[in-house]
C-alpha cells in the first residue's frame, strides 16, 4: 500500500466527550467517491462513504490508522493521534494497471447509474467487448449488446437490434454524436465499430433524459477516445475476417494528440494466393484530433469512413464478355466538438456534425445497365449547457439540437434493352429540419428521494407541414438503503425519420424516409419501474425492471409491396399502432477473477395496421418471448482467461406459405399457382440457443511488445438457429417444411499486439 | 513438398481449411405443426373466342401437396371440383353451365350485355357454396398489330407494336403475349405458371377516346423455330381485376418465400378464392420469324 496525496483539515470541535468523531469525504479530484471503505485500526471500525463520498465514525481518542480503499484505486493509509473531533479529506489516485482501470471505469459508471434516477441503461467497457467470443472472432459491440436485457437480435449473425418491442429503425446509433445509419458490414455479420477506438458505450433503453431523443426505442452512444495522449501507442489485431491497426501519437505534449485506426478484410487477398477470387471487401477508417488549448477547453475533430464493396464478373461463355454486378454501401461522418468548463459550476458542449450514408447497386451487360442508388445526408449542431453539481444538489442541463436531413430515397436508372422491362424512376428527394429544445433539472427532495424532471420539445419542418411534439421526461429514485433503490420513469419519444424495409428482414438497401405532410411522426410513451441492488464488495449489480410502451404512427407497407427497384413506395406506406411490455432481469459482476452477467427478458410486442391482416392485431416479427444469456469470463491466471457465452432466445414469428390455389392464367392456356399465407406472424420458429467458447492468452506484462492470442469456437454444438421456413423437395418428390440455419460450428483465432 | 507450395500458400490454406472444414452447416430443424389449410373453392373464368364462358372450379391445397414443377395433369385431377352446380344469372335470366371435365364448366350462348352485372352461383355437395359478381366491360380491339424479331446479341426479343381505340371514360387494359412454338406442343411444365408477358395500363385522360399507339418487347428465345408465333390478347378489364393482376405481377418472381412480404390476395368470390371476370379479349396470333 502506498501513501498518496492527502489533504488534512483539522477543525477544533468539543474535546469533552469520551468518544470523538472522525468525519470526512473521499474524492478523486473534485469528484466524490461513494461506497468507499474506511477502516480505522486498531478499533476495527468500518464505514462506507455515502452518495456524496462522506463518512462519519465515533471513536475513543488514541493512535489511529485509517485505511481507505476503493475499487480500482490505490489504497490509502493514514496514521495520526486522534484527540478531538476531526475532519479528513482523502483524495485517491487510480491504480496504474490499465486493465483494472477499464474495469474501474465501468464499475464507477455502473455505480453512478445506480446512484442516479436512471434505469433501462447499459454501460459496456471495451474490455467486455473484446472478451466475448463472437462470430468469426471479430470483437463486436452490437453482438455484445444483443446479450443484454431488453435488446433482441434479428436474424442470426446480423447487426439489427430490437429494443423493448421496437423496430430496428427506432434505435439512434451515435458515433461521437454523429448518426450511423447503417451499423453493419458483411451484410450484417460485423458491425461498423472498430473495437480499438471505443472509449465508452452507453445504451439507453428507457428512462430517457431530456438531452436525448429522435428515436422511439433506444439511444446508443458510442464514444471514442478523446484524452490527450502522453505517449505513442500502437496496437493491432489479425483475425479470420478482418485485421486492424491503431496508432496514437502525441503532437504537442499535453496539448495536442491524434489517433488513426483502420480495419479491412483481407480474406480476398488470402484467397488470391491460391488463385481463387472473392470479390468482396469492407474497410473502416477512423481518426481523431484532440486539442486542449487551456485547462478549461477540450476540442476534438473526429471522422469515420467505411464501405462494403462487392464486384462480381460473370463470363458464362468464357469469351471475355460477361456481366458485372457491383454493390457499394457506406457511411461517412465528421464531428467537431468543443467542451468548455465555463466556471466552477457550469460547463458547455458545442458539437457540429455531418454524416452520410449511401448505397449503390449496378449491373451492366454490354449496352444494358441497371443502377439503383439511395442517399441520406445530415448536417447538424448541438449545444448543451449544464452544471457539475453532485448527485441531488440541483443540477441543470439545457440546450438545443438541430439537424438538416437531406434524403434521396431511391433512384432507379435503366438503359438498354432492360429499360423495356424495368422503367427507371426517381422517388422525390426530401429535406426536413429536425430540432429540439430541452431542459432538465435534478434534485433530491429528501434523504431518500431523488427526482429528475425534464421537457424536450421536438420540431420537424418539412416545407409542407410542420410538427411540434412535447416530450416530457420524468424519473425518480427512492433509496431503500445505501445498496438498494426503487426507480420510476416516464418518457415520451418522437421520431421523424423512418426506415422502410421488408417486414421479414432488414437489409443495407432499406430506405430512410422523413416525415411528410402525409407520413406523420412515430410516437411512443414508456413507463418503467425498477428495483436495483449493488453488492460493492463483490462488484455485483442486480436489476429487475418492467416496462410498458404503447406506440403510434408506426410505419408499415401495404400487403404485396415490393421495395426492390420501387421508386413509388410512398403511396404504399401505411401507419398503425403497437404496444410492448415486459420484464428484464440482470445480474452483473465486474470484479474478481470471474466476471460477466446473466440476463433474462420476458417480453411481448404487437402491431396493428388497418391495411394489413384485415386490421387485426398481430405479433411483431421479433416478438420473442424469452431472451436470456449467460456471459462469463474467468481469469485462470494473469495471462490466461477463458470465456463462454450461452444464449437462448425464443423463435421469432414468421408468416409461412401454408397453401396454394390455381387460377387460369390471363391467357388461353395455363394455370397460375398463387400462395396462401398463414395469418401474419402467427407461426413461431424454433427456439435458438448457442454456446460459444473462447480462450485468451497474453504475453508477459513486463514486455514492451505485448501480444495476445484469442481462439475459440462459435456455436459449439452446431445447432441451427432458424431464419425462416422453407418448403423442400425430397428425393421421392414429396415435400416437407424445414427451418434452415445460417451458421454452424465456426472456429476462430486472432492475434493482437500493442506497444 | 512441391517447390511452388511455399509457406505463404500453406498459411493461406490453413486459414481456408480452418474456416471451410469447421464451418459445418447444421441440419435444418423440423417444423412444429403449422396452421392446416381448410380447402376452399377457387373460381377462375375465361371468355374464349365465340363468347363461350369457361369457369374453372378447383380447390385450394396445402403447400406440401404440389409446386410449380409438379405434373399438371395429376394436379388438376387432384384439385378439380367435378360435382358442382354452376349457374350464371343476370337481370334477364339464369344460365346453367355444362360440366366439361377436369373442373371446367362451359356455357355457350350466354348473352353478354355490356355493363350488366352477372352473378355466379356455385354449389358443391362436397365443398359448399360460393358466389361472385362481375360486370361485362365493353371490349376493345386491336386496330393494328404486328411483330418483329430482334436479336440483342445475347438474347432475342419480339417487338410488338399495336394500336387500339381507347374507350371513353376511365378504363383499365390488359395486354398479354405468350410464345407459341410451331415445332411441338408446349411442354407440360409450361402449363403451370406459364411464362407470360403481362402488361397492365390505365388509359391516359389526356387522350381519352383517342387512338392509342404503343409497343412492347417480349422475350422471344433465340432458339425459336420458323413459324413460331405470339398469342396476343387485349382486354378491357375492371379496376378490381386490374388491381388483382397488378399485385400478382409485382410478386410473381419473389425470390424467396421468407424474404417476400406475405400477401392476402383479394378475391371477388364470397366464401372462396380466385376471381370471376367476364372481360372479352381480342385474341390475335402474329407470326415472328427469327
The minimum CA-CA distance between B86 and chain A, rounded to whole Å, is 17
C-beta atoms of A737 and B265 within 8 A:
no
* A617 in Cβ contact with A550 (< 8 Å): no
Residues in chain A: 755
Nearest CA-CA distance, residue B204 and chain A, Å: 18
Does residue A524 fall inside a structural domain?
A: yes
ipTM of the prediction: 0.86
A613 to chain B nearest CA, in Å?
A: 8
Burial of A472 (0-12, 13-18, 19+ CB in 10 A): middle
Dihedrals phi, psi of B188, to nearest 5 degrees: -55, -35
Which of B42, B152, B248 comes nearest A661 by C-beta?
Answer: B42
Domain final position from A222, A257, A276: A222
Q: What is the DSSP letter of A539?
A: T
Q: Do B12 and A659 touch (CB under 8 A)?
A: no
Inter-chain residue contact B196 with A421, CB threshold 8 Å: no
- C-alpha–C-alpha distance, residues A687 and B217, integer Å: 49
User: What DSSP state is assigned to residue B139?
Assistant: P
CB contact under 8 A, A720 and B26: yes
pLDDT score recorded for residue B77:
87
- Alpha-carbon distance of A91 to A187, in angstroms, equals 50
Q: Grid coordinates in use for A334?
A: 465528421
User: Mind telling me how many Å the CA of A271 is from chain B's nearest CA?
Assistant: 7
- Tell me the Cα Rg of chain A: 28
- For residue A112, tell me if it sits in a domain: no
Cβ–Cβ below 8 Å for A746 and B23: yes
Asked if the structure places residue A558 within a domain, the reply is yes
Q: What is the pLDDT of residue A419?
A: 64
Q: Does A638 touch chain B (CB under 8 A)?
A: no
Q: What is the mean pLDDT of each run of 10 residues along chain A (755 residues)?
A: 37 51 86 82 77 84 82 74 86 61 58 88 84 75 90 78 93 95 83 90 94 96 90 90 92 94 82 69 94 93 94 71 82 96 92 94 78 90 88 86 91 67 72 97 90 97 96 96 94 95 66 92 98 88 97 89 71 93 95 91 96 91 93 89 92 86 81 88 88 90 88 87 76 77 81 91
Cβ distance of B233 and A667 shorter than 8 Å: yes
Residue A659 sits at the chain B interface (C-beta within 8 Å):
yes
- A660 lies in a domain? no
Q: CB distance from A567 to chain B under 8 Å?
A: no
**Residue from the list B62, B68, B75 with its beta carbon closest to the beta carbon of A658:** B62
Looking up residue A60, the CATH number of its domain turns out to be: 2.60.40.1120
- Suggest the residue from B2, B10, B28, B55 to mutate for an interface test with chain A (most A CBs closer than 10 A): B28
State how far the Cα of B228 lies from the Cα of B287, in Å rounded to an integer.
Answer: 6
- Give the strand pairing for B273-274 and B41-48: parallel
Least confident of A310-319, B91-100, B259-268: A310-319
Q: Within this chain, do residues A159 and A265 fall inside the same structural domain, yes or no?
A: no
pLDDT at B258 over 50: no
Please answer yes or no on whether A560 and B251 come within 8 Å at the CB atom: yes
- Is there a domain that residue A701 lies in? yes
One domain, residues A277 and A192: no
> What is the structure's pLDDT at A467?
97
The predicted structure's pLDDT at residue B197: 77
pLDDT of amino acid A16: 41
How many helices (H) and strands (E) in chain A? Answer: 4, 50
CA distance B194 to chain A (A): 6
Q: Are A298 and A226 in contact (CB under 8 A)?
A: yes
Which of A607-621, B44-58, B246-260 comes out lowest in average pLDDT? B246-260
Q: Does A611 touch chain B (CB under 8 A)?
A: no
Give pLDDT, residue B151.
Answer: 72
Q: Give the burial class of A594: count Cβ atoms within 10 A of its Cβ; 0-12 exposed, 13-18 middle, 19 or more buried.
A: exposed
Q: Indicate the residue among A222, A240, A271 that finishes a domain.
A: A222
How far is B239 from chain A, CA to nearest CA, in Å?
Answer: 15
Higher pLDDT among residues B169 and A528, named by residue: A528
Domain of A415, in residue numbers: 223-343+350-652+667-754
Name which of A502, A674, A747 is nearest B18 (Cβ-Cβ): A747
Residues A180 and A214 in one domain: yes
Three cell numbers, residue B285: 396470333
Does residue A26 sit within a domain?
A: yes
Burial grade of A197 (CB within 10 A; 0-12, 13-18, 19 or more)? buried
Render A439-481 in DSSP notation, one character per residue: EEEEEE-SSSEEEEEEEEEEEEE-SS-EEEEEEEEEEEEEEEE
CB contact under 8 A, A669 and B24: no
Residue B159 to residue A581: CA distance in whole angstroms: 58
User: What is the rounded distance in angstroms from the CA atom of residue B230 to the CA atom of residue B220?
Assistant: 9
Beta-carbon separation of B32 and A684 below 8 A: yes
Same domain, A318 and A451: yes
Q: Are A196 and A251 members of one domain?
A: no
Q: Are residues A624 and A750 in the same domain?
A: yes
Instruction: Give dist(CA B128, CA B60) in Å, integer.
Output: 13
Gyration radius of chain B over CA positions = 25
CATH number reported for the structural domain that contains residue A626 in this entry: 2.40.170.20
From A64, A98, A132, give the residue that closes a domain.
A98
B29: Cβ contacts below 8 Å, ≥ 6 apart:
A686, A720, A722, A738, A739, A741
| B24 closest CB neighbour out of A672, A718, A727 | A718
What Å distances lie between residue A705 and A57, A236, A550, CA to CA?
48, 11, 54
Give the cell for residue A466: 410542420
Confidence of residue B12 (pLDDT cuts 50, 70, 90): low
Residue B201 reports pLDDT greater than 50? yes
Q: Does A270 touch chain B (CB under 8 A)?
A: yes
Instruction: Answer yes or no: is A235 within a domain.
Output: yes
Selection from A597, A587, A583 nearest residue A543 by Cα: A587
Secondary structure class of B239 (helix, strand, coil): helix
Q: Determine the Cα–Cα distance for residues B171 and B201; give it in Å rounded to an integer.
A: 9
Chain A interface mutation, best of B249, B258, B275, highest count of A Cβ atoms under 10 Å: B258
Residue A658 placed within a domain: no
Give yes or no for residue B18 having a pLDDT over 80: no
Report the distance separating Cα A551 and Cα A493, nearest Å.
Answer: 9
DSSP result, A195-208: GGGEEEEEEE-SS-
What is the spatial distance between Cα A599 and Cα A646, in angstroms, rounded to a whole number? 11
| Domains identified in chain A, total number | 3
CATH number, residue A217: 2.170.130.10
- Chosen from B222, B261, B273 to mutate, greatest number of chain A CBs within 10 A: B261
Residues A518, A580 within the same domain = yes
pLDDT of residue A511: 83
C-alpha cell at A175: 458515433
Are A378 and A455 in the same domain?
yes
On whether the CB atoms of residues A657 and A682 are closer than 8 A, the answer is no
DSSP code for B279: -
**How many Å apart are CA A687 and CA B113, to the nearest integer?**
59
CA dihedral angle for residue A186, residue A191, residue A194, residue A198, rounded to 10 degrees: 180
| Best B13, B15, B26, B68 residue to mutate vs chain A (most A CBs within 10 Å) | B26
- B-chain residues near A559 (CB < 8 A): 261-264
The answer to whether the peptide bond before residue B66 is cis (omega within 30 degrees of 0) is no
pTM (predicted TM-score): 0.81
Contacting residues of B for A670, CB less than 8 Å apart: 178, 190-194, 196
A179 and A244 in a single domain? The answer is no
- Cα gap A162→A145, rounded to integer Å: 11
pLDDT digits (tens, 9 = 90+) for B215-225: 888 877 656 66
Candidates B92, B54, B106; CA nearest to B280 is B54
A7 with A138, same domain: the answer is no
- In three-state secondary structure terms, A416 is helix
Give contacts of B188 with chain A, Cβ < 8 Å. Answer: none
**Distance separating alpha carbons of residues A131 and A632, to the nearest angstrom:** 9
Q: Give the C-alpha separation, A45 to A64, whole Å.
A: 11
In sequence order, the 6+-apart residues with CB closer than 8 A to the CB of A335 are A175, A176, A177, A178, A300, A301, A302, A303, A351, A352, A353
- Terminal-to-terminal C-alpha distance of chain B: 58
> Are A636 and A697 found together in one domain?
yes
Pairs across A and B, CB distance < 8 A: 250
Dihedral Cα B262, B265, B270, B276, nearest 10 deg: -160
Nearest of A271, A244, A241 to residue B12 by alpha carbon = A271
Q: Are residues A516 and A380 in the same domain?
A: yes
Amino acid at each position: 500500500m502506498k501513501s498518496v496525496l492527502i489533504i488534512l483539515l483539522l477543525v477544533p470541535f468539543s474535546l469533552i466527550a469520551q468518544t470523538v468523531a472522525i468525519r470526512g469525504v473521499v474524492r478523486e479530484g473534485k469528484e466524490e467517491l461513494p461506497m468507499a471503505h474506511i477502516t480505522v485500526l486498531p478499533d476495527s471500525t468500518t464505514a462506507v462513504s455515502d452518495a456524496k463520498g462522506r463518512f462519519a465514525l465515533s471513536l475513543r481518542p488514541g493512535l489511529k490508522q485509517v485505511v481507505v480503499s476503493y475499487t480500482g484505486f490505490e489504497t490509502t493509509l493514514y496514521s495520526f493521534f486522534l484527540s478531538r473531533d476531526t475532519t479528513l479529506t482523502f483524495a485517491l489516485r487510480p491504480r496504474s494497471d490499465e486493465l483494472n482501470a477499464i474495469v474501474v471505469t465501468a464499475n464507477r459508471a455502473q455505480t453512478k447509474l445506480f446512484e442516479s434516477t436512471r434505469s433501462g441503461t447499459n454501460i459496456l467497457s471495451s474490455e467486455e467487448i473484446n472478451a466475448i467470443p463472437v462470430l468469426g472472432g471479430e470483437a463486436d459491440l452490437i453482438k455484445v449488446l444483443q446479450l443484454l436485457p431488453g435488446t433482441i437480435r434479428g436474424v442470426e449473425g446480423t447487426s439489427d437490434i430490437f429494443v423493448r418491442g421496437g423496430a430496428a429503425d427506432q434505435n439512434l446509433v451515435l458515433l461521437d454524436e454523429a448518426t450511423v445509419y447503417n451499423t453493419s458490414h458483411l451484410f450484417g455479420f460485423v458491425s461498423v465499430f472498430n473495437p480499438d477506438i471505443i472509449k465508452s458505450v452507453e445504451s439507453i433503453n428507457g428512462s430517457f433524459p431530456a438531452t436525448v431523443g429522435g428515436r422511439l426505442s433506444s439511444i446508443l452512444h458510442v464514444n471514442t477516445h478523446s484524452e490527450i495522449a502522453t505517449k505513442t501507442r500502437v496496437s493491432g489485431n489479425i483475425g479470420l475476417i478482418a485485421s486492424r491497426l491503431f496508432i496514437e501519437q502525441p503532437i504537442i505534449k499535453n496539448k495536442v494528440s491524434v489517433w488513426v485506426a483502420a480495419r479491412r478484410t483481407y480474406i480476398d487477398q488470402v484467397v488470391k494466393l491460391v488463385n481463387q477470387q472473392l470479390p468482396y471487401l469492407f474497410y473502416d477508417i477512423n481518426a481523431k484530433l484532440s486539442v486542449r488549448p487551456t485547462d478549461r477547453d477540450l476540442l476534438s475533430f473526429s471522422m469515420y469512413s467505411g464501405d462494403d464493396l462487392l464486384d462480381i464478373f460473370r463470363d458464362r461463355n468464357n469469351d471475355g464478355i460477361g456481366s458485372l454486378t457491383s454493390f457499394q454501401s457506406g457511411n461517412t461522418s465528421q464531428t467537431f466538438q468543443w467542451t468548455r468548463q465555463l466556471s466552477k459550476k457550469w460547463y458547455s458542449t458545442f458539437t457540429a456534425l455531418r454524416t452520410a450514408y449511401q448505397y449503390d447497386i449496378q449491373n451492366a451487360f454490354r449496352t444494358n445497365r441497371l443502377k439503383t442508388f439511395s442517399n441520406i445526408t445530415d448536417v447538424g449542431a448541438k449545444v448543451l449547457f449544464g452544471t457539475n453539481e453532485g448527485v441531488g444538489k440541483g443540477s441543470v442541463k439545457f440546450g438545443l439540437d438541430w439537424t438538416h436531413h437531406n434524403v434521396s430515397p431511391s433512384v432507379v436508372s435503366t438503359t438498354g434493352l432492360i429499360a423495356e422491362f424495368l422503367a427507371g424512376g426517381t422517388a422525390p428527394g426530401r429535406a426536413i429540419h429536425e430540432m429540439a429544445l430541452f431542459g432538465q433539472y435534478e434534485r433530491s427532495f429528501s434523504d431518500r428521494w431523488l427526482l429528475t424532471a425534464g421537457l424536450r420539445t421536438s420540431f420537424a419542418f418539412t416545407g409542407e407541414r410542420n410538427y411540434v411534439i412535447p416530450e416530457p421526461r420524468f424519473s425518480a429514485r427512492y433509496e431503500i438503503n445505501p445498496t438498494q433503490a426503487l426507480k420510476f420513469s416516464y418518457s415520451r419519444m418522437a421520431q421523424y425519420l423512418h426506415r422502410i424495409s421488408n417486414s421479414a428482414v432488414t437489409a443495407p438497401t432499406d430506405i430512410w424516409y422523413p416525415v411528410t405532410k402525409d407520413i406523420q411522426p412515430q410516437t411512443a410513451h414508456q413507463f418503467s419501474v425498477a428495483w436495483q441492488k449493488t453488492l460493492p464488495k463483490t462488484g455485483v449489480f442486480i436489476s429487475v425492471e418492467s416496462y410498458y410502451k404503447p406506440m403510434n404512427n408506426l410505419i408499415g407497407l401495404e400487403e404485396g409491396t415490393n421495395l426492390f427497384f420501387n421508386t413509388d413506395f410512398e403511396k404504399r406506406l401505411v401507419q398503425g399502432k403497437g404496444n410492448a411490455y415486459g420484464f428484464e432481469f440482470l445480474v452483473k459482476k465486474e470484479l474478481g477473477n470471474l466476471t460477466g452477467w446473466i440476463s433474462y427478458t420476458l417480453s411481448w410486442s404487437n402491431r396493428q395496421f388497418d391495411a394489413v391482416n384485415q386490421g387485426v392485431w398481430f405479433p411483431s416479427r421479433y416478438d420473442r418471448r424469452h431472451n436470456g444469456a449467460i456471459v462469463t469470463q474467468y481469469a485462470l491466471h494473469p495471462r490466461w482467461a477463458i470465456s463462454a457465452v450461452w444464449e437462448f432466445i425464443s423463435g421469432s414469428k414468421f408468416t409461412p406459405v401454408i397453401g396454394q390455389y390455381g387460377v387460369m392464367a390471363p391467357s388461353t392456356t395455363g394455370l397460375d399457382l398463387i400462395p396462401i399465407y398463414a395469418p401474419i406472424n402467427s407461426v413461431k420458429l424454433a427456439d435458438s440457443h448457442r454456446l460459444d467458447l473462447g480462450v485468451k492468452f497474453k504475453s508477459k506484462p513486463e514486455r514492451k511488445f505485448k501480444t495476445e492470442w484469442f481462439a475459440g469456437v462459435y456455436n459449439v454444438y452446431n445447432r441451427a438457429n432458424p431464419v425462416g421456413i422453407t418448403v423442400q423437395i425430397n428425393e421421392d418428390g414429396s415435400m416437407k417444411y424445414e427451418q434452415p440455419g445460417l451458421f454452424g460450428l465456426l472456429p476462430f483465432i486472432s492475434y493482437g499486439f500493442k506497444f | 513438398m512441391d517447390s511452388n507450395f511455399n509457406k505463404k500458400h500453406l498459411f493461406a490454406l490453413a486459414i481456408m481449411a480452418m474456416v471451410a472444414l469447421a464451418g459445418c452447416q447444421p441440419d435444418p430443424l423440423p417444423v412444429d405443426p403449422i396452421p392446416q389449410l381448410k380447402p376452399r373453392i377457387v373460381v377462375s373464368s375465361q371468355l374464349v373466342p365465340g363468347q363461350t364462358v369457361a369457369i374453372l372450379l378447383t380447390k385450394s391445397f396445402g403447400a406440401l401437396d404440389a409446386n410449380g414443377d409438379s405434373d399438371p395433369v395429376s394436379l388438376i385431377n387432384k384439385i378439380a371440383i367435378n360435382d358442382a352446380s354452376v349457374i350464371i344469372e343476370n337481370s334477364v335470366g339464369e344460365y346453367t353451365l355444362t360440366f366439361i371435365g377436369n373442373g371446367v364448366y362451359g356455357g355457350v350462348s350466354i348473352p353478354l350485355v355490356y355493363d350488366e352485372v352477372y352473378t355466379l352461383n356455385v354449389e358443391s355437395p362436397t365443398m359448399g357454396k360460393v358466389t361472385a359478381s362481375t360486370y361485362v366491360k365493353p371490349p376493345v380491339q386491336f386496330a393494328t398489330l404486328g411483330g418483329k424479331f430482334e436479336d440483342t446479341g445475347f438474347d432475342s426479343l419480339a417487338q410488338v407494336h399495336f394500336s387500339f381505340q381507347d374507350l371513353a371514360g376511365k378504363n383499365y387494359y390488359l395486354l398479354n403475349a405468350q410464345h407459341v412454338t410451331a415445332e411441338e406442343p408446349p411442354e407440360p411444365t409450361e402449363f403451370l405458371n406459364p411464362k407470360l408477358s403481362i402488361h397492365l395500363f390505365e388509359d391516359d385522360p389526356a387522350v381519352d377516346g383517342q387512338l392509342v399507339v404503343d409497343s412492347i418487347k417480349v422475350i422471344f428465345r433465340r432458339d425459336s423455330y420458323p413459324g413460331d408465333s405470339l398469342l396476343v390478347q387485349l382486354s378491357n378489364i375492371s379496376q378490381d381485376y386490374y388491381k388483382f393482376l397488378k399485385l400478382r405481377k409485382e410478386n410473381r418472381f419473389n425470390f424467396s418465400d421468407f424474404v417476400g412480404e406475405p400477401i392476402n390476395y383479394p378475391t371477388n368470390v364470397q366464401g372462396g378464392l380466385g376471381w370471376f371476370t367476364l372481360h372479352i379479349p381480342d385474341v390475335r396470333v402474329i407470326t415472328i420469324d427469327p
